[in-house]
Chains A and B, each alone.
Chain A
Amino acid sequence: MHDDDRSLRDQLRGADPARDLAPLPPTWLDHRMEQIMTDTTTPSVPARSARRTWIPIAGVAAALAIGAAIAVPLAIGGTPTVEPLALPEGGGLASGSCLTVDAAGLLAQEQAFAARVLTVEGDIVTFEVTERFAGDVADRITVPQVDELTTSTDFSLEPFAAGDSYLVTATDGTISACGLSGPDTPELRALFVEAFGG
């Protein structure tokens, strides 16, 4: 190293904030090493590149697991659990108007889930539950079809359509209306994610 460099390095070292840092106590490292080697049940983790490879695989595996959770019970002949829910009486509009739907309103509900309409037979709608956000929710949900005559005048629920997906909340075995349940739109889903964390 040139003298110039040595002088510069010495000058910089004079400004080193750790210049007077006392050494660690001799036992500190021994204790810490013992702790690490004792506490760590998995002594090695994959290298970063390997972890990156596993992320998409884990994602696919998770997606398959979710699909399997729905499909396997049916494919192997297991009987899906079914829970009937009621529609709100009188359209759920005792006060005559609906409050603005927000995350707090959703959080107050006992059950929250996403579901797709499997069938509409007569006045019975059968949903297949695809996501559970809150509460115990069966594999399938049955509800009476919304009466079109009362839908437009009494409350906010539209008739359910076969094949369509919905975000649904319920309390005391009754579907919550006033915007707390409805088609799976980005707006309602954003509120569900805000309330239940996706």
Chain B
Amino acid sequence: MTDAVREQRFRTIAELVVEPVRRYLARRTDAATADEVLNETLLVCWRRLDEVPAGDEAVPWAIVVARNLLANAQRAERRRTRLVGKIIALDPPESVVEYTLDGGDPIAVRDALTRLRRDDAELLRLWAWDGLESPQLATVLGISANAAAIRLHRAKARLKTELMKSAPPAGHVEAEEGSTDARR
């Protein structure tokens, strides 16, 4: 591959993956770490250009890179902050992006996600937030497309059950977390 072809390929891939990866990171970490990992991910795309799949498949490939880099960054951060871990646990940092309250109750949805198994919740985030379908989910999770479809189906069902539990009866005020009763 000539330098010019190589550069053109990198530009095409970078333009395709930059926003999905940036949003993937913004959903899962603080702004500074997201920025750092986004830069690293683009650098890996350049360095491993020959391995990046063609077309839309580049997006889940880049998300896997970003996920691994983020895990490394978070491991390093955990080592640095081990001594103050309890303080952070008691006073978690605010998300850098504010939730909006229009179009449903995002807090209830987020609460329902936290009650799911971690794998189910991440699968649903990848599906709904990152816009990945079963074949791309399979790439990110390193499983078969069929297995991804089955797991996604089950995760949706579990989320629906959780949302049903937390939904207030019509005409009532919101239910308290973990309860099916409207107590006020």
Q: Which residues of A contact B (CB under 8 A)?
A: 4-5, 8-21, 23-24, 29, 32-33, 36-37, 40, 42-45, 47
| Complex interface: chain B residues within 8 A of A19 (CB) | 97, 100
Docked pose: A4 CA to B157 CA in angstroms: 10
Interface status of B156 (Cβ within 8 A of chain A): yes
| Complex interface: chain A residues within 8 A of B128 (CB) | 8-9, 12-13, 16
Per-position 1/0 for B1-45, Cβ under 8 A of A: 000001100110011001100110011000000000001001100
B51 and A13 form a contact (CB under 8 A): no
When C-beta atoms are compared, the residue in chain A nearest to B22 turns out to be A24
- Supplied contacts A36-B43, A42-B47, 4 more A-B pairs, CB within 8 Å: A11-B109, A15-B99, A20-B97, A43-B46
| Complex interface: chain B residues within 8 A of A12 (CB) | 109, 113, 124-125, 127-129, 159
Q: How many residues of B contact A (CB 8 A)?
A: 45
A36 and B42 form a contact (CB under 8 A): yes
| Complex interface: chain A residues within 8 A of B46 (CB) | 36-37, 40, 43
B103 and A14 form a contact (CB under 8 A): yes
A11 and B39 form a contact (CB under 8 A): no
A10 and B103 form a contact (CB under 8 A): yes
Per-position 1/0 for B82-119, Cβ under 8 A of A: 00000000000001111110111111011001000000
B47 and A43 form a contact (CB under 8 A): yes
A31 to chain B, nearest CB (A): 11
Interface status of B50 (Cβ within 8 A of chain A): yes
Q: Which residues of B contact A (CB under 8 A)?
A: 6-7, 10-11, 14-15, 18-19, 22-23, 26-27, 39, 42-43, 46-51, 95-100, 102-107, 109-110, 113, 124-125, 127-129, 156, 159-160, 163
The list of the 5 closest CB pairs from A to B, nearest first, reads A12-B128, A15-B106, A15-B109, A18-B26, A18-B23
A17 and B99 form a contact (CB under 8 A): yes
A17 and B43 form a contact (CB under 8 A): no
Docked pose: A20 CA to B156 CA in angstroms: 24
B164 to chain A, nearest CB (A): 12
Docked pose: A15 CA to B47 CA in angstroms: 35
Docked pose: A44 CA to B42 CA in angstroms: 13
Q: Tell whether A47 pairs with B47 under 8 Å between CB atoms, given A21-B23, A29-B15.
A: no
| Complex interface: chain A residues within 8 A of B105 (CB) | 14
When C-beta atoms are compared, the residue in chain A nearest to B129 turns out to be A16
B47 to chain A, nearest CB (A): 5
Between B96, B98, B100, the greatest number of chain A beta carbons within 10 A of the residue's beta carbon is seen for B100
| Complex interface: chain B residues within 8 A of A43 (CB) | 6, 46-47, 49
| Complex interface: chain B residues within 8 A of A24 (CB) | 18-19, 22
Docked pose: A37 CA to B8 CA in angstroms: 11
When C-beta atoms are compared, the residue in chain B nearest to A32 turns out to be B42
When C-beta atoms are compared, the residue in chain A nearest to B50 turns out to be A44
Q: Tell whether A21 pairs with B97 under 8 Å between CB atoms, given A14-B103, A44-B50.
A: yes
Docked pose: A123 CA to B144 CA in angstroms: 73
B48 and A15 form a contact (CB under 8 A): no
B103 and A17 form a contact (CB under 8 A): no
